[in-house]
Structure 1
């Protein structure tokens, strides 16, 4: 019998019904029905089978402040350890992490903990905040946000594989505590989030802006999701250059087709100001290294090394400047 995966979102829908998220509660069940049932992905049942193969573990202890989001238990057997390993292998490729599921270490393509360490010192305290994480991947940063005391975190990312990876972590976290885990990943794009909710204390958008044909529309969507005075955390690809400088790739950028605009930091700050963000400032600038993004046993496809000029790591395969990422903090 197939699991009713729509039930994964029942507690969230109930939470949303009171307050500024009520408009979303009114459409969320239909959104999930259309995506997860009416348009079921060809690999969805295989991923569900892998998820269901993960054994129930007693006495789970979770550490959401550890760089690898550590799950441990003194009650786990060798057979269960093997089942965990095989189930998680069935959810490959793992791109954002790392994770430590008991004795299984998932060395993901991205060292997302490095990005978190660059961003964290510049954030307003997340304690008791309602947070939206746009383009959240498999939820690594969502768990780190909970580890910093966020009241609730909602992530949106259209990948259904990321949803299954997120659910693997959530199920073990749920067994480690009596109350519901206050984090939910929705297989949606930011465009699917109801407009002008003005509900969130903090909104993260990391690694999304350059995938949008209209970056200003994305910035407006982010601003409209925030409460007045709420905080935007924006991370995106940029180029070196003066005010007004912007790179639009001819076709691909670092082998990616869906890259549209890479502004200079001054141009990006201007975009933020024009949308109405206040006190927009660059808090970090970092060129992605071959140590931060690479192929691993858990993500065996091409990665950053294959996307760069083999003779010059400061250029992409197409000859553009290599990935340079800026973190912007601003207030609505």
Structure 2
């Protein structure tokens, strides 16, 4: 499915995006970036995932609904095809972000990503007719929801090839919508592109070694007056307080810092953002993040202190996440 020729077909709608001249600088580099990103040396399991994609039957969707909690795709396929589809989709385990319902198969993902979407969707600017960048988008669940809210073009970036394969499987059945997930990171976006009306960075910030560099990278992606939607871990505390885990945090190795809300507000202002505000603060619970039949590894309940769930297994404050919105100057 994703040899060089078919890959050009998958992304052809993006390469031909003449309606978005502000993206021209990046789109010119994109074919070579994709060749590098999909190189065989990137991940030893890629041939397995590609084989699963190749085995998916071509069934035209008679209904696609992007405005329901479990993104819905259906074409009235029979039991034989349904069993084949489920078998191939399960070869793309673990499914972290969702949920999805594809031809009668409910993919119950680790994260109930719809809950996060409901917390923020009424606080952000309308996405109608907007060009959107979703940084660290996983398999693209939120990118589909953005499209369902009227976005004209949604580009997600995530360097994890399994997430890209999962997105490819969903799009295979959904059809030719202007939504794409690229196997790239924020560092692959040309600096100061200033092209997007809205930029989302959700669940990424605390994985970046330099908070200020990431905030400036995001600002460089936004057109003047564009909106940043930033969702991240936070701690309780005053301005200036930041948790820097010495080892793991909730079993994650790559958590570099967790600021208080007031600290992050000041960082956003220091980086030049305007109209900065917090629109939601929510404790992460096992309703939102848990092991399922589609993600059979450990999850949130395994990362919390079994005696005191207000703490992680490392004795640090349990995960609380906040949504910030800000405007690019």
TM-score (norm 1): 0.95
3-state DSSP of counterpart to 1:315: coil
Aligned counterparts, 1:306-321, within 5 A: 306-321=302-317
**In the alignment, structure 1 residue 226 sits paired with structure 2 residue 222:** yes
Alignment match of 1:274 (pick from 261, 270, 275) = 270
Equivalent residue for 2:73? 71
Give the alignment's Cα RMSD to 1 decimal.
1.4
Equivalent residue for 1:284? 280
Alignment match of 1:247 (pick from 239, 243, 246) = 243
**In the alignment, structure 1 residue 58 sits paired with structure 2 residue 60:** yes
Tell me if structure 1 keeps the 8 A contact 2:61–2:173.
Answer: no
Tell me if structure 1 keeps the 8 A contact 2:61–2:174.
Answer: no
Report the more deviating stretch, 260-269 or 8-17: 8-17
Residue 102 of structure 1: CA displacement?
A: 1.5
Equivalent residue for 1:177? none
3-state DSSP of counterpart to 1:21: helix
Equivalent residue for 2:172? 171
The CA distance in 2 between the partners of 1:73 and 1:256, in whole Å, is 39
Residue 18 of structure 1: CA displacement?
A: 5.5
Aligned counterparts, 1:153-164, within 5 A: 153-164=154-165
The CA distance in 2 between the partners of 1:120 and 1:211, in whole Å, is 24
Alignment match of 1:33 (pick from 28, 32, 35) = 35
CA deviations 1:54-83 (Å, max 9, x no partner) are 111135310000110011123x11111111
The CA distance in 1 between the partners of 2:141 and 2:100, in whole Å, is 8
Residue 181 of structure 1: CA displacement?
A: 1.4
3-state DSSP of counterpart to 2:22: coil
**In the alignment, structure 1 residue 203 sits paired with structure 2 residue 199:** yes
Equivalent residue for 1:128? 129
The CA distance in 2 between the partners of 1:238 and 1:22, in whole Å, is 36
3-state DSSP of counterpart to 2:292: coil
Gap regions ≥5 residues in structure 2: none
Q: What is the aligned residue count?
A: 326
Aligned counterparts, 1:172-191, within 5 A: 172-174=173-175, 180-191=176-187
Tell me if structure 2 keeps the 8 A contact 1:294–1:304.
Answer: yes
Equivalent residue for 1:3? 3
Report the more deviating stretch, 145-154 or 30-39: 30-39
Aligned counterparts, 1:83-162, within 5 A: 83-162=84-163
TM-score (norm 2): 0.96
Residue 16 of structure 1: CA displacement?
A: 6.1
Tell me if structure 1 keeps the 8 A contact 2:40–2:46.
Answer: no
3-state DSSP of counterpart to 1:37: coil
**In the alignment, structure 1 residue 212 sits paired with structure 2 residue 214:** no
CA deviations 1:114-155 (Å, max 9, x no partner) are 000001010111010000000000000000001001000000
The CA distance in 2 between the partners of 1:184 and 1:109, in whole Å, is 22
Alignment match of 2:294 (pick from 287, 293, 298) = 298
Structure-2 change in CA distance of 1:119 and 1:192 (3 Å): same
3-state DSSP of counterpart to 1:11: helix
CA deviations 1:188-236 (Å, max 9, x no partner) are 1111111001000000000001001101100001011001000000000
Residue 2 of structure 1: CA displacement?
A: 7.1
The CA distance in 2 between the partners of 1:14 and 1:60, in whole Å, is 26
